[in-house]
Amino acid sequence: MLIKELPALAGDATTFVWVGGDTAANVLQALLPAPEALQRLPYDPDDTGALDEKTLLVAFSGPDPETHVAPEALAAALRRLPLNGRVLVLLGWPVEELPYHVMLGPLVDAGCQVLQAVPLDKANRHGAHCAVVAARVSRLAPLRTYLDDTPIALTGDEPDLRTLLRLAGEYTFGDLVSRPLRRRLAELQDRLGTQQQRVRQLEKDVKARDAELTKAQQRLTSARESLERLQSSTTFQVGSTMVQGARRPGRAIVTVPAGLVRVWRNRGADRR
């Protein structure tokens, strides 16, 4: 979801009530530019009637105390929510590092059910990695995926609300955290398949080069044997003797006959 689409989660709310100091107010003003029909007010703990079903409680929670509101600081405001009152919490933790149990505790203690946990795009620009929508309920509302835009009915017949709220919240947060991990796993599997194909191709290339190297070695061995036969042949030795005589004409009258005789004798020895 895009950060500019978050006001759509306000539903039929007519007022945004933000929790936190001036820094939080400035951040939320930049992240959630309220439509003209929505009024934006700071949370006043002394105003008992500030929160009603037409009010959306808004907070930006995360690890930075200068910018974010600590989850435990939201507990009092959450307990002030009326039945069916909603809260929108932007989270400054990366999804894969989200300590959702820290956020889930105050929500469950206030009787709030996590309805949706939505990842946000381009978190590096605004620091909000995901948005959590919760409501104070008396009965468990049906769960839905973050891609489902159908209205949420805050009804149900399940007993033991507190336990069910925690289970439902853990399921929603767990699904949020696991989504990027599943996406990363799919990317790694695709990359592994590509690498395996590359390895198989390299193995084929190595085998082909080994075969070429074996053939080259065989040709080299054959050439050496041919050279040895040529050098040991009578024709080569006679020719070598004549060349040496031509290089030294003054001694050729002696060396050439002597060399030819030696070749003739060796030839007879080879035959025997």
C-alpha triplet 64, 135, 43: angle, nearest 5°? 55
| Strands across the sheet containing 112-119 | 39-42, 15-18, 55-61, 86-91, 130-136, 112-119
- Residue count of the chain: 272
pTM: 0.55
Span(s) in the chain for CATH 3.40.50: 3-178
Torsion on CA atoms 88, 99, 159, 57, rounded to nearest 10: -20
Three-state DSSP class for 270?
helix
- Please determine, looking at this structure, whether the domain spanning 3-178 carries the CATH number 3.40.50: yes
- Per-residue pLDDT, 202: 87
The answer to whether 64 and 74 have CB atoms below 8 angstroms apart is no
Which residues on neighbouring strands pair with residue 55, listed in sequence order? 15
| Amino acid found at 66 | E
In angstroms, the Cα distances linking 168 to 114, 133, 141, 150, 269 are 7, 13, 9, 18, 103
55-61 and 39-42: which strand pairing? Answer: unpaired
**Residue-wise pLDDT tens for the chain (272 aa)?**
555 666 666 667 778 888 876 666 676 776 776 666 677 777 877 776 668 778 888 888 888 888 888 888 888 889 888 888 889 898 888 888 888 788 888 898 888 888 888 888 776 677 788 888 898 988 877 665 544 445 445 444 444 677 777 777 777 777 777 777 777 778 888 888 888 888 888 888 888 888 888 898 888 888 888 877 766 666 666 666 666 666 666 665 656 566 666 766 666 555 44
